[in-house]
Amino acid sequence: MINTGLLTDTVIDTMTAKGVLTGDGVAPKEGGWVGGAPNVDAFKSYTVVGYDGAIPTMEGVNLYPEWLVTYALRSYGGSRLQLDWQSNLARNAFMDVNYLEFDDYKVIGILWRNLGGVSRVDQTDPSMWQSFDSVALYCAATG
């Protein structure tokens, strides 16, 4: 059976190594408004990785040796321009997961299901910006 927890750790580690401030399901403590208060200091952009589930790609064949594992990349910025920069940084870093091996599996392809729209979040003053991407990894057993 595929170890999705290990794959998620691999995704987060890869993105972090590429210089992306990355949270594991939640905002990293260093991300957001520096000092914790909106409009006091600068906004440090970040991306949150969320595991969204997995399905076998060839159900009933070879005891599920291949999986399509889905993720959400939720990026945040203090301005639309900063958000665009953060989203592109995260997307490019995520691409480095392709062909990586973990446990008894290897990532053999990436499917971008949706490059999320950009929206402004007005619950803070000043506003912040967000986008949510949906991406899937094709994973195949190596053994």
Amino acid of residue 114? N
Helix, strand, coil shares of the chain, percent, nearest 5, are: 20, 40, 35
- Which pLDDT does position 64 carry in this prediction? 58
Q: What is the mean pLDDT of the chain?
A: 92
The 10s digit of each residue's pLDDT in 19-46 is: 999 999 999 999 998 876 666 778 999 9
What whole-number percentage of the chain has pLDDT above 70? 92
The 10s digit of each residue's pLDDT in 93-118 is: 999 999 999 999 999 999 999 999 99
- Residue 61 CA to residue 99 CA, distance in Å, equals 23
Q: What is the DSSP letter of 21?
A: -
Q: Domain 4-141, what fold?
A: STM4215-like (3.30.2000)
Average pLDDT over residues 60-80: 86
What whole-number percentage of the chain has pLDDT above 90? 78
**Token pair listed for 15:** 């993105």
How do beta strands 66-77 and 46-56 pair?
antiparallel
The residue extents of the domains of the chain are: 4-141
